[in-house]
Amino acid sequence: MTETVIVTQGLTKAYGHTQALRGLDLEVRQGEVFGFLGPNGSGKTTTIRILLDLIRASSGTATVLGLDPRHDGVALRRRLGYLEGDFVVDGRQTAGELLRYLGHLRGGVPPARITELSERLGLELDRKIKTLSKGNRQKVGLIQAFMHEPELLILDEPTSGLDPFLQQEFTAMTREVTAEGRTVFMSSHVMSEVQKTSDRVGILRDGVLTSVDTVESLRASTTRRVEVHFDREVGPEAFADVPGVSELSVSGALLRCRLDGPADALLKVLAAHTVVSLTSVEPDLEELFMDRYGQGPDAEVSA
């Protein structure tokens, strides 16, 4: 039985005449990494700030860890870790000072835990924050979100400014969180980022969730580009009727086609020949959503 840790129903938020959310229904389950994906201005940050009670919804309900953010904000935030999309702090303090203080606000985080995380990410704790690069500041933000091992991590664009090594470390950290049955809810406007870390992905467009699916099933239900080299010329006849195969082209010993759905049937037919090489290019999520919605998730939504 999986618990849901975030539930929103018909969540709306209006800023004057601008409708930032138009009835958002969202469910995030315990122990998963949920990728909350959408172009800039689609309402990701608005949703997150409602979950933390930094702003209030115009209508609809939100429940986080079984609590109402509006009325049990303090109890709720005790069990959360949060990283803002734009992590800004007073730069005149050192990273260590800030993290120890924030640890105290959370009721105490062992100093060893802060040291361990800073060593893992390569952050110098005794440097003043204003002297840190953007990437290093982001590390401070990540550490403060992870350090007290919260039940739920809400991360707004967590990997912005991180180099590939740190992105990998971040992915590992989220895996450790979910291995312990804890949950990560992260927003992003970059597909590849969500693809690496998430179990399920929800797509937000213009303030509504347009689809939710697992990264796996998105992949399974999709198109691959297949290229096969044989040791001799083949005819197209044998392949034309294979389930899922389309856009077939055979020239000499080279076969190219598009494959929808499982690869099994095609593989069995290929096995009758001597295959020199086989490439199957999986589309990344970016292409998948281009297919589904005709527009890439990175495309700006005009206001």
Binding site for another protein (CB under 8 A): 45, 49, 52, 54-56, 73-75, 77-78, 80, 82, 84, 86-90, 92-93, 97, 100-102, 104-107, 144
The minimum distance between CB 54 and another protein, in angstroms, equals: 5
The minimum distance between CB 225 and another protein, in angstroms, equals: 42
For residues 79 and 292, which CB has a smaller minimum distance to another protein in the complex? 79
Q: What stretches of 206-271 adopt beta strand conformation (E)?
A: 208-214, 223-230, 245-251, 254-260
For residues 15 and 165, which CB has a smaller minimum distance to another protein in the complex? 15
Type of residue numbered 180: E
The span from the CA of 268 to the CA of 275, in Å, is 12
Q: What is the DSSP letter of 130?
A: G
For residues 82 and 230, which CB has a smaller minimum distance to another protein in the complex? 82
For residues 89 and 263, which CB has a smaller minimum distance to another protein in the complex? 89
DSSP β-bridge partners for residue 22: 12
- 31 near 199, Cβ under 8 Å? no
For residues 207 and 218, which CB has a smaller minimum distance to another protein in the complex? 207
Q: What is the DSSP letter of 33?
A: E
The minimum distance between CB 85 and another protein, in angstroms, equals: 8
The span from the CA of 33 to the CA of 30, in Å, is 9
- 200 near 298, Cβ under 8 Å? no
The minimum distance between CB 101 and another protein, in angstroms, equals: 5
The minimum distance between CB 49 and another protein, in angstroms, equals: 7
